[in-house]
Chain A
Amino acid sequence: KNQVEQSPQSLIILEGKNCTLQCNYTVSPFSNLRWYKQDTGRGPVSLTIMTFSENTKSNGRYTATLDADTKQSSLHITASQLSDSASYICVVSVNYGQNFVFGPGTRLSVLP
């Protein structure tokens, strides 16, 4: 069964600190992995997309890593800001198509 798991479920950090979110997947055949940021009641915003051959990708203060062998990905956020408070969702694309498996998300709260 295709599945995406994320940890932690929720995370609280102080402004300016760094944090790392984890994503594990059991999906076959793997096409690509995306990290999305979703504010409550809003549409998800794509942060990074990585294919099988990519093992790191950065987007500003966001850096994603992918280990296709262990089927793990991480999203590292540096120098967190209050506006980083949101849900971060790991999504894996299956079978070279447009079918996606969404993880449950990590709810990040950045406090002043």
Chain B
Amino acid sequence: AAGVIQSPRHLIKEKRETATLKCYPIPRHDTVYWYQQGPGQDPQFLISFYEKMQSDKGSIPDRFSAQQFSDYHSELNMSSLELGDSALYFCASSLGRGAKGSYEQYFGPGTRLTVT
């Protein structure tokens, strides 16, 4: 079965550069979530989109922005990169939000971003 696809899988950038991470949800899934997981840390929820609209916002820095496109894929844009942005960035998708939020989330393999 098709899974969540993320690209690139690995990315190396220098400080103050920009980066764009892409996420392709499972076909027919309409909700996308972004998480950031620093080395040895818990995943932190960044932002989510439902039907191409931002639906919830977590601890996403102002230097980051994201959007969901008409084909439901999503992009996370990161500017003025800092060393502390080095992390594993996960994207997850789900079909709808369900009653009381009890929907199944499927995670992608992640993009490992290294800022030097």
* Residue B25 CB within 8 A of the other chain: no
Cα of A97 to Cα of B101 in the assembled complex, Å:
6
B94 shortest CB reach to chain A, Å: 8
- Judged by a CB distance under 8 angstroms, whether A65 is at the interface is no
Is the CB of A83 closer than 8 A to any CB of chain B? no
Partner-contacting stretch, out of B14-22, B67-75, B77-85, B107-115: B107-115
When distances are taken between beta carbons in the complex, the residues of chain B under 8 Å from A46 are: 104-106
- A98-B31, A100-B45 are contacts. A44–B90 as well, Cβ < 8 Å? yes
- Count residues of chain B with CB under 8 A from any CB of chain A: 27
Tell whether, in the assembled complex, residue B48 and residue A98 are in contact, meaning their CB atoms are under 8 Å apart.
yes
In the assembled complex, the Cα of A50 lies from the Cα of B106 at a distance in Å of 16
Contacts of B102 in A (CB 8 A): 31-32, 49, 51, 93
Identify A43's interface contact among B42, B45, B100, B109, CB under 8 A.
Answer: B109
Q: Are B45 and A42 in contact (CB under 8 A)?
A: no
Interface residues on A, range: 20 to 34
* Interface status of A99 (Cβ within 8 A of chain B): yes
Top 9 nearest A-B pairs (CB, nearest first) are A43-B107, A31-B101, A102-B42, A98-B56, A98-B48, A32-B102, A93-B101, A51-B102, A43-B90
- B residues touching A (Cβ–Cβ < 8 Å)? 4, 31, 33, 42-45, 48, 50, 55-56, 58, 88, 90, 92, 97, 100-102, 104-110, 112
16 residue pairs from A and B, CB less than 8 Å apart: A31-B100, A32-B101, A43-B4, A43-B92, A43-B109, A44-B43, A46-B104, A52-B100, A93-B101, A93-B102, A97-B55, A97-B101, A98-B31, A98-B33, A98-B45, A99-B56
